[in-house]
Amino acid sequence: MQGKINCLLKYKGLGEPLDIDMYMANDGYKGLKTAVDNMSKDDILDEVDKAVLLGRGGAAYPAGRKWKQLMAINTNPKYIVCNADEGEPGTFKDRDLIKYCPYGIIEGMTIAGYVFDSPRGFIYIRGEYRTLQQEFQKALDTAKAKGLLGKNILGKEGFDFDITIVSGAGAYVCGENSALLNSIEGKPGRPRVKPPHLAEVGLYSLPTLVNNVESFSCIPVIMRMGGDAFREMGTETSGGTKLITICGHAKNKGVYEVGLGTSLKDILYSEEYGGGTASGMPIKFVHFGGQSGPIGFPEQFDIPYDYDSMKKAGLAIGSGAIVVMDESVSLVEYCMKVTEFFVHESCGKCTPCRIGTERMLEIFRKLIDRKAVPEDIDKLKELGDMIRLTAACGLGQANNVALNNALAHSRYEFESCCKRIETWN
Ligand SMILES: Cc1cc2nc3c(=O)[nH]c(=O)nc-3n(C[C@H](O)[C@H](O)[C@H](O)COP(=O)(O)O)c2cc1C
Ligand code: SF4
């Protein structure tokens, strides 16, 4: 199925988001009840697997595989962690889910709690979402008062699960799953060296499941409709729907839910979605999936928006961010802003990421000041590649994804910023 689908966002506008009766009157908690009453834990894992739910936090790791890997680990207890850090620029879809569909997230985490016999879950919510944290706490309290969190959930003896909110404090890197766990533990929010993987040594050194807000929100839907039906809202290899955030110079900015496999051209140009640019100028380029994602150019847009097709075209879905830039934007200045972001957000643990991004920024400044020579562009690329190869985490590894796309497509734009060397008298 393709096009707009109102599945995860169906509660938006349906009523008061914190009204649990409204949620329950509209399929809410049917997923948990189905899982607990009618399915074995292996059945639940099989349905998540069949759904082909690829992690919605950005890395697209299959949820079914992650859940089965955690199940295979015998150490207990296990922790359930929801990543609501949403620090990726251009991404604001988890905000909508927390605001309009809090019980969907709680239900998804509770199903995970049931599957893994976990006593406790944590949701790490971006510090800037302070008001949403307070609203979410009310949803947790209401669910608890209804017997849907706490002890003997659904009246089932021994099914105990509770959720605690932890606030982020503004660091992008704390969205990286191991940095996030360190931050929950009260340590500096720096990524851990992996392996060991978090499924084995996670929160407080215990096995831990970390999934994104949108991934958890899909779980009750999968339990309700079955893994096959969920997958069919998308494509064979990219199951379900995806929340996308269209922003930048797009005419119709906002959060949209689309079946995976929807035409990317439609998403960018049709009035139903982005509608081209607000200025009426042509789209010059689009930055997909956040600062760590690739930049794409109009000749690449005639493809379906699903994980496979985007990857084949050299693009990516990532977090679902779609930052549209019109012809008024300098690609060089844009890439410089991306590097500024990485300089600011590097946690400093690895020297190449900490220092190298600064050196890259210096070259960008030379380019902007028309003081660079073409060799500086090669140096820029070399530095980015070196940081990528030596980085301990995904932040450094993705520092130059956008830059490399930009250079491969439009090196002339970088060269045109170099100082003029007069070759005649
Ligand atoms: C620098 C960095 C920032 C990240 N920020 C987020 C984030 O804000 N939210 C998120 O869900 N995942 C984020 N991730 C991805 C997480 O590490 C992890 O893959 C994800 O939470 C797993 O959930 P999923 O499998 O459901 O996508 C980030 C990764 C990196 C490297
Ligand atoms: S790559 Fe950068 S952000 Fe990641 S651990 Fe190293 S210094 Fe920190």
DSSP conformation letters of 297-340: -GGG-SSEESHHHHHHTT---TTSEEEEEETTS-HHHHHHHHHH
- Cα 310 to middle of ligand 1, angstroms: 19
Residue nearest to atom 5 of ligand 1 (CA): 175
- Cα 348 to middle of ligand 2, angstroms: 6
Percent of the chain with pLDDT over 90: 98
Q: What would be the CATH architecture of the domain defined by 331-415?
A: Up-down Bundle (1.20)
Query: Residue 1 — pLDDT band, cuts 50, 70, 90?
Result: low
pLDDT of res. 422:
54
CB of 387 sitting under 6 A from ligand 2: no
Task: Tell me the two tokens of residue 238.
Answer: 């990219």
pLDDT of res. 69:
98
Query: Residue 2 — pLDDT band, cuts 50, 70, 90?
Result: confident
pLDDT of residue 373 exceeding 90: yes
Give tens-digit pLDDT for 297-325: 999 999 999 999 999 999 999 999 999 99
- Cα 15 to middle of ligand 2, angstroms: 43
- Can you tell me which residue has the tokens 């209804």? 146
0.95 surpassed by pTM: yes
Query: Residue 420 — pLDDT band, cuts 50, 70, 90?
Result: confident
pLDDT of res. 425:
47
- Across 175-192, b (16+ Cβ under 10 Å) vs e yields bbbbbbbbbbeeeebbbb
User: What average pLDDT does this structure show over 409-419?
Assistant: 95
Angstrom distances, CA of residue 53 to CA of 59, 97, 258: 12, 17, 14
Measured in degrees and rounded to the nearest 5, phi and psi for residue 86 equal 35, 60
- Distance between first and last Cα of the chain: 65
User: What average pLDDT does this structure show over 126-135?
Assistant: 97
CATH 3.40.50.11540, domain 20-232, yes or no? yes
Counting ligands in written order, the one closest to the CA of 353 is 2
pLDDT of res. 424:
52
CB of 381 sitting under 6 A from ligand 1: no
CB of 391 sitting under 6 A from ligand 2: yes
Q: What would be the CATH architecture of the domain defined by 241-326?
A: Roll (3.10)
CB of 168 sitting under 6 A from ligand 1: no
**Cβ atoms of 234 and 260 closer than 8 Å:** yes
- Across 323-357, b (16+ Cβ under 10 Å) vs e yields bbbbeebebbebbbebbebbbebbbebbebbeebb
CB of 126 sitting under 6 A from ligand 1: no
Counting ligands in written order, the one closest to the CA of 219 is 1
pLDDT of residue 156 exceeding 70: yes
Task: Tell me the two tokens of residue 182.
Answer: 């360190």
Residue nearest to atom 4 of ligand 2 (CA): 393
The SS3 assignment for 160 reads coil
Angstrom distances, CA of residue 407 to CA of 123, 294, 413: 39, 12, 8
CB of 353 sitting under 6 A from ligand 2: yes
**Taking the domains of the chain in order of start, what are their residue ranges?**
20-232, 241-326, 331-415
pLDDT of residue 270 exceeding 70: yes
What does DSSP assign to residue 356? I
Angstrom distances, CA of residue 9 to CA of 99, 200, 246, 332: 10, 33, 16, 37
